[in-house]
């Protein structure tokens, strides 16, 4: 599957079944179906807007998907646009080829171009810092993150002063993501 060019483009409604299959395969039995179900809800949820949903393909085959959903801040400082990266999936046969990183970089570029200031993620602290994410100590997640996983709550600033303006805020997310079980990394 390597060697041929990889294309990354926004998903279309016709891609949804392939995107759900991709998440199911990437996360394996059990968890994969739960993640696919969550993605299905988020793709159709107006409260998740604005969002960015990108699909990586090679030779017409879907290999990776990333979803950025709308995030809110309370108290609202005004003028700050935030997004939540959740989830990122790469097909098991294509993992280790840099597809996840390409999706992250492309997503961050597109979000910056759309005026997004901050991107948050609850993810692997050994992976996401490669793309400029840093542990977030100034903005609370929608639910408490266990102390042992505190470094998994991360933020990537896309505009220089955005983090300074929101210190002490709490992140809000789409109802489908507003569940304590999703925040216990």
pLDDT at 43 over 90: yes
What percent of the chain stands above pLDDT 90?
A: 87
pLDDT for 185 equals 57
pLDDT at 85 over 80: yes
Residue-range domains of the chain with CATH? 7-183 (3.40.630.30)
Strand partners, 154: 121, 135
pTM recorded for the entire structure: 0.95
Q: pLDDT, tens digit, for every residue of 114-154? A: 999 999 999 999 999 999 999 999 999 999 999 999 999 99
CA of 111: how far to CAs of 28, 84, 119, in Å?
29, 11, 9
């Amino acid at each position: 599957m390597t060697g041929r060019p990889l294309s990354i483009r926004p998903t279309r409604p016709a891609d949804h079944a392939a995107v759900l299959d991709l998440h199911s395969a990437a996360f394996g039995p059990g968890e994969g179906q739960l993640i696919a179900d969550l993605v299905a809800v988020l793709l159709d949820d107006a409260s998740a807007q604005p969002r960015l949903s990108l699909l990586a393909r090679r030779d017409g085959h879907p290999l990776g998907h990333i979803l950025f959903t709308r995030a809110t801040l309370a108290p609202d400082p005004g003028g700050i646009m935030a997004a939540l990266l959740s989830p990122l999936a790469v097909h098991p046969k294509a993992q280790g080829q840099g597809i996840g990183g390409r999706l992250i970089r492309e997503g961050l570029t597109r979000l910056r171009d759309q005026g997004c200031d901050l991107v948050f993620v609850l993810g692997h602290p050994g992976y996401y810092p490669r793309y400029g994410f840093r542990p977030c100590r100034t903005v609370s997640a929608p639910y408490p993150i266990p102390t042992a996983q505190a470094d998994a709550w991360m933020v990537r600033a896309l505009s220089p002063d955005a983090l300074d303006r929101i210190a002490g805020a709490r992140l809000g997310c789409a109802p489908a993501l507003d569940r304590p079980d999703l925040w216990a990394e």
